[in-house]
Structure 1
Amino acid sequence: MIERAWQSELAALISAQEPKWIEFRRRLHQNPEPSGHEYQTSLAIYQELNSLGIELRMGPEGRGVLAEWRTPHAESLPQAIALRGDIDALRIHDQKDVPYRSQCPGLMHACGHDAHATMALWATSLVVELDRAGALPWPVRLRTIFQPAEETCVGALEMISVGALKEVREIYATHVDPSLPTGRIGLRVGALTASCDAVRIMIHGQGGHGARPHESRDPIAAAAQLINALYLSIPRVTDSQDAVVLSFGKIHGGENLNVIPEQVELFGTLRTLDLKVRQRTIDHIHRIIEGVQRATDTTIEVRFDVGTSAVINQAGSITHLKTAIVEAFGHEAIYEIPRASMGGEDFAFYLEHVPGAMARLGCRPPAAERAPLLHSALFDIDEAVLAIGARMMASAVIHAFEPKD
């Protein structure tokens, strides 16, 4: 592996700065903010970026930050390479016994967004410092998007609406992965995550006394039949090679143990990797609902709200990431992800406008056989992943502007 001069300078900066950025990540981890309320997180990121003296804008309603750096006097760069780091936390109570445990009851960074934001911020700092030191091999233009509300799938659209992708030609993002050891970087061309539709079903019946169900049209009985029919039928009408996951996570109906209610609400998600499969599944759900309506003499309404489409990594963008990874860490660092995750990720909205890719960064301590998974109350990262992610992203940005001739 041949290391270029700027790579040596980059490695030296990372080694010297690692304690600072570990501390910054811990500061975010201790002070999580949920989707839609990321005001102090945005301010902390803004202040750190402002110390670099680069162009900054706050996102909508003071949530999120857009940062821009263009090599001075480089007018030949009409488009930027963008990095995205999400910043919101989850409504989960942190149960870890560590000094940087969340100080906000019922809130924690259980999906690694504190790490993603730190890596994007550190990578931005590295590019700026290399440029100012005259160590960059050629001019660059970088846009960094610190995005709120990823967990609710509205933050990417909010940032796009205020120009986050204006004059951007390509975009990269990371996601930590506790199933992989630190040092492994997962890449995949094509679908990386699933589309995710929020499903809401309202069942209208006729209430009555629990002792005389024959006098009512029981929406709870209809809900039980409907869930059972959907869970049994969807896998049987779907090609076994097409991924479809329908899950209900919330049921609400009634207030009293001896009263049959008037209505019941079901809330869930539908996840697919292919638009045609998605539509066929929705059509089949409607047919099942029609059958349950007739059998139970209830009225059933269903609504599908698109949460996010699938993340589709572009081959060219993955090639750029591979180049950066191999130069920095060697071929052995790359893990070829064999199949897509059925989780959702609103990074997909950016990819509907510009090409790009998301990499999954192993964050499990190498000596550990397993680690708490994403969205767990015990979730944490091996903080060595911060330097890996920052170096990969900074290198990818620099490589993206390498002259072609």
Structure 2
Amino acid sequence: MKIAIVGTGYVGLVSGTCFSEMGVDVTCVDVNREKIEQLRRGIIPIYEPGLEEMVHKNVKAGRLHFTTDLVDVLDGVEVVFSAVGTPPDEDGSADLKYVLEVARTVGCHMNKYLVVVTKSTVPVGTAVKVKDAIQAELDKRGESIEFDVASNPEFLKEGAAINDFMSPDRVVVGVASERAKEIMSRLYKPFMLSGDRMIFTDIPSAEMIKYAANSMLATRISFMNDMANLCELVGADINMVRKGIGADSRIGKKFLYAGCGYGGSCFPKDVKALIKTAEQNGYKMQVLKAVESVNERQKSVLFRKFMNHFGGDVKGKTVALWGLAFKPETDDMREAPALVLIDLLLNAGVNVKVYDPIAMDECRRRIGDKVIYCKDMYEATVDVDALMLVTEWKEFRMPSWCVLKKAMQGYVLIDGRNIYDGQELKEKGFEYYKIG
């Protein structure tokens, strides 16, 4: 089976590589010539554990190809996935210009039946716009060629994307014909050998499922952060509260961890887009507006704790940040709490030293040399007045407290992910602050 995937960003590259791993002949398409040339040379533009090795393997096997020319591959494929970016517009809605550009290209040049699949996260109603754009181009050509549009939202967690794709807990596909359903079933069959986890729906429901899922997860995070802030005021421990409510089978244990806010490419964008979709249909998503508000405020929680500790007298002090990416196992800093924190610290006249195992180059690309980049976690703490744990990378879990005591000038540790034992740190002479 041959397919094309347009867009070699996170979703497109991971999806294409994993399909090729299962024997599908995949051509990944991107208008960025430099990126395509790098991929052809084996240079991977994103960090994702296991991805580089899998790309090299399938390119060598002749199953994974890269090109800038979608038109050149259309006649040889059965399915075209659109995995291009849908950045938030100024009003928070998803910008569909790249999605519709792919649709128009397909309509201009297709010569046989195709299934055109939106893999990008897109608002409800996008499939209709894609279908209309393709049909409009066919009408201009005076051609009558059958095609189907389908929706196949991705549910990949950055840092665990390969496993999520290869062993999915569900594959959601919105279709409007049996022919499209059969083709999509055949494409995903190798991933279903241990049990059929395909969920076929109508197209609008498939488009809504991704937004609803991410918004629910974001809601749980903001709820726990709100609860953590209240726990601090009343003297309760959010970790104990988490265990207590997580034991309820109706609630479950996942996504109940308090912290310094969520970020990344999905949650902030998708929450905004769903709020905007509701507004466009005359409805207010009051819960999600609160989720968004709580999260924005939570991104400054470490700064507030820092300011409170020093009574607001922080100008000229030096702080170390452990972690820059929005979460471990990725270099993604989109909407990362670290970016908000760095801005607040710099504006307050604080010197900032940073270390992240993967995201240092990405941070430098985003903010330049406003901060001091350190070669390891301990170098970052030399002569600092405080240390802030922002991203819970594994290597930060068991630091040498003796080394830190020798390196640091002040012994203030602000734990933005609640991974340390406060009592242990107090016994070792640190002033310890956590979330909740």
Same fold (TM over 0.5): no
TM-score by length of 1: 0.24
Compare the two structures and name the one with the higher strand fraction. 1
TM-score by length of 2: 0.22
Compare the two structures and name the one with the higher helix fraction. 2
Structure with larger RCO (C-alpha < 8 A, sep 6+): 1
